[in-house]
Amino acid sequence: MKKINIAIDGYSSCGKSTLAKGLAKALGYTYIDSGAMYRAVALYALRNGWMNETNIDEEALKKHLHEIHISFEPNSQGGQDIYLNGENIEKEIRSLEVANAASRVSTLKFVREELVRRQQQMGKDKGVVMDGRDIGTVVFPDAELKIFLTASPEIRAQRRFDEMKSKGENPSYDEVLSNVRERDYRDTNRAESPLRKADDAIELDNSNLSIEGQLRWAIDMFNKITKGNE
């Protein structure tokens, strides 16, 4: 069967990566976490002192952007981890500090242009499930299947809170909720490629859906779209 590209966009902590990973596994496609790429750039900027809580040294970041090599390699759990210049940074980029920094570097036009270029390259042979904020609108405007996921901020904060707890972290729910709201605001109000549903995306509010339920729904959508495409 001819492979397609699948774009999954939506707010932070909406279950995009869970759905994208599940779909990729079920279909034998490659999963690409575009948000992890923004997080990798943010981590590099933080480590080099080019950004702090209030400022970003855009000139320095622009000058060194080409040094930031990002790759995805399979891990022992059957998923994949992100590498920054050969170092596995999968765990480090999941902190709230890096999440906030990623949300800020993702507002910069030159960062977006470079990462979009790399993402398009990764999808050129199709067979990719990519999740993010601008996949259906900018990265793969021709993706055959586009899904826009939503869920209430409270439900998303609870999911992120549970996930962090299960990893042994000790966040406060209110802090996680305000972080979700802050990122929603920034993601939808930035000048460069703000988060929005592509006109031809199918919207799914998964507030009351199980992980299996949303995967079944997405596989149904995939089957409908690829029918007659064999």
Residues that bind ligand DC (CB under 6 A): 12, 34-36, 38-39, 99, 102-103, 106, 132-135, 183, 187
Angle between helices 109-122 and 34-47 (to 10 degrees): 130
145-150 and 202-205: which strand pairing? parallel
C-alpha to C-alpha distance for 26 and 87, rounded to whole angstroms: 29
At closest approach, how far in Å is the CB of 133 from ligand DC? Answer: 4
Which one, 123 or 132, has the nearer CB to ligand DC? 132
Which one, 75 or 229, has the nearer CB to ligand DC? 75
C-alpha to C-alpha distance for 120 and 123, rounded to whole angstroms: 5
At closest approach, how far in Å is the CB of 116 from ligand DC? Answer: 8
Which one, 75 or 188, has the nearer CB to ligand DC? 188
At closest approach, how far in Å is the CB of 81 from ligand DC? Answer: 14
At closest approach, how far in Å is the CB of 175 from ligand DC? Answer: 16
Which one, 129 or 135, has the nearer CB to ligand DC? 135
C-alpha to C-alpha distance for 121 and 130, rounded to whole angstroms: 12
Cα 16 to the center of its chain, rounded Å? 7
Half-sphere exposure for 89 (CA within 13 Å, toward CB) = 24
The angle subtended at Cα 124 by Cα 119 and Cα 126, nearest 5°, is: 105
Which one, 4 or 36, has the nearer CB to ligand DC? 36
What H or E segment, with its residue span, contains residue 123?
none
Which one, 90 or 187, has the nearer CB to ligand DC? 187
8 A C-beta contact, residue 15 and residue 22? no
At closest approach, how far in Å is the CB of 229 from ligand DC? Answer: 26
Q: In what order do the strands lie in the sheet with 202-205?
A: 30-33, 128-132, 6-10, 145-150, 202-205
At closest approach, how far in Å is the CB of 160 from ligand DC? Answer: 9
